[in-house]
Structure 1
Amino acid sequence: MASLVIIKTGDAFPEVVDQHGDFEQLFIRRLNDALPEQLTLKVWDARLTATPPDDIAGAVITGSHSMVSEQPPWSEALKPWLQQALADNLPLLGVCYGHQLMAAAFGGISDYHPAGRESGTRTVRLTQAGQQDPLFSQLPGHFPAHLTHAQSVMQLPHGATILAHNCHDAHQALRYGPRQWSVQFHPEFSPPVMRAYIERQRAALRDQGDNPDQLLSEIIETPEATSLLQRFIGFI
């Protein structure tokens, strides 16, 4: 049976894993309800093995606490696989680290954002291309999304299309091919997971001039962002 594969690139904080599940569980929870009978979900931990599962019909690449610019060997080993997947028109959706890794694999540059970390529930706005994109076009022109990242896509790969942006990051969502997308935000996060991340990052956020208590008070549900996961299945 064909599989939608969750490519695991990292672990969530221990308290998040204990209370809400690790990154792959967050995705499984969101994807299960929309999964057709002919598809199964599999997890490929790319840090442990370079050999992908058989019969991959599509892939979602998770977030990570690693940094793409530091080029971990397992992460570099994923780049040729992603390049081949793009050439084969395999449906792909990269999230956070997955977003930055896809951009780097396809010829862009991902690195630390000069404005620092972006955390919390922030507004993301569609570009004109995003409003016409088959995956994003059903979303409103602007919508809330959960974010936590220190690195960003700083330079686009050739041929990439910007689908969404906000005041912090010009590249919140990208398309690379007919069925290959990536997003900087976390459609798999729930408000409790977002709260746990801000609590963990309190000192770092204060140091860069953010108010963690205000960020906590602004956390809301993000159904539009989350809907991208279920809609992505329709392209497999």
Structure 2
Amino acid sequence: MASLVIIKTGDAFPDVVDHYGDFEQLFINQLSTALPEHLSLEVWDARQQGVPPAPSSFAGIMLTGSHSMVSEQAPWSEALKPWLQQALDENAPMFGVCYGHQLMASAFGGISDYHPAGRESGTRSVRLTQAGHQDPLFGKLPTPFPAHLSHAQSVMQLPPNTTVLAHNSHDAHQALRYGPRQWSVQFHPEFTPSVMHAYIERQKAALRDQGENPDALINAITDTQAATGLLRRFLRFT
């Protein structure tokens, strides 16, 4: 049986893990209902297990979010970059989320770093570009669509030959395509409204410090089925 590997790059807050599961479990929860019979899910913790087997060993690749920062260049994170480049060269299906999004962009020649406008958290509106409308994965999404976000770093400079599929007022690079079957998103399609709520609760002080109203962000949390559906539609490309 072929496997889709979920590359774990970090842990969620302990209370989130206790109540809802860690990052990889959030992916599994969303994917399991749509998983075809020939495909299984495998988790690979890059921090503990190092570089995964050859990309060709897997039917598809997903990368989770993390509380680490790509710009810190942790050894385990840097070691993934040549592997990700190999996966791109071999046209392996890939989908990166948040840290995974920033790591893929960095691995392919872009720059990921702290966003000068600060943190973006909460359920925010994201809009497709013209290329996004024509994309085989994103093309059926409404625009704008709501998405859950929690990040301090962003893709600040695009890699060569990268297509922007979605953006919003905070981040010009909310969704990117690097090749025929390689995508990444800054937002969290795996998050549920409850997980988003828990993240804002944990970030209240930091959000207030940058002039945000955490209570207003909590009240604005909505369902994000359009964004979440990307995870299940990605399975068609594996």
Question: Which category describes the TM-score, using the shorter chain as reference length?
Answer: over 0.9
SS at match of 2:154: strand
Structure 2 unaligned residues grouped into runs of 5+: none
Distance 1:212 1:114 in 2: 20
Aligned match of 1:141 = 143
Give the letter for the 2:25 counterpart: Q
Question: TM-score, structure 1 length as denominator?
Answer: 0.99
Give the letter for the 1:193 counterpart: V
Match of 2:132 among 130, 140, 154: 130
Are the aligned partners of 1:44 and 1:53 in contact in 2 as well (CA < 8 Å)?
A: no
Distance 1:136 1:222 in 2: 14
Matched, 1:227 2:191: no
Aligned match of 2:69 = 67
The CA deviation string for residues 157-210 of structure 1, in whole angstroms up to 9 with x for no partner, is 000000000000000000000000000000000000000000000000000000
The CA deviation string for residues 101-140 of structure 1, in whole angstroms up to 9 with x for no partner, is 0000000000000000000000000000000000000101
SS at match of 1:219: coil
The CA deviation string for residues 76-125 of structure 1, in whole angstroms up to 9 with x for no partner, is 00000000000000000000000000000000000000000000000000
> Quick check: which one's helix share is greater?
2
Distance 2:41 2:85 in 1: 22
Are the aligned partners of 2:122 and 2:150 in contact in 1 as well (CA < 8 Å)?
A: yes
Deviation at 1:49, TM superposition (A): 1.4
How many positions carry a matched residue from both structures? 236
Alignment of 1:6-25 (within 5 A): 6-25=6-25
Distance 1:160 1:183 in 2: 13
Runs of 4 or more off by more than 3 Å in structure 1?
none
Matched, 1:185 2:155: no
Matched, 1:49 2:49: yes
Are the aligned partners of 2:51 and 2:83 in contact in 1 as well (CA < 8 Å)?
A: no
Distance 2:53 2:215 in 1: 43
Are the aligned partners of 2:129 and 2:164 in contact in 1 as well (CA < 8 Å)?
A: yes
CA-atom RMSD in angstroms: 0.7
Question: TM-score, structure 2 length as denominator?
Answer: 0.98
Distance 1:172 1:6 in 2: 21
Distance 1:67 1:50 in 2: 17
Identical amino acids, percent of aligned pairs? 76
Distance 1:135 1:149 in 2: 23
Distance 1:229 1:177 in 2: 17
Aligned match of 2:34 = 34
Distance 1:176 1:51 in 2: 21
Which has the larger displacement, 48-57 or 192-201?
A: 48-57
Distance 1:109 1:52 in 2: 23
Match of 1:158 among 157, 160, 163: 160
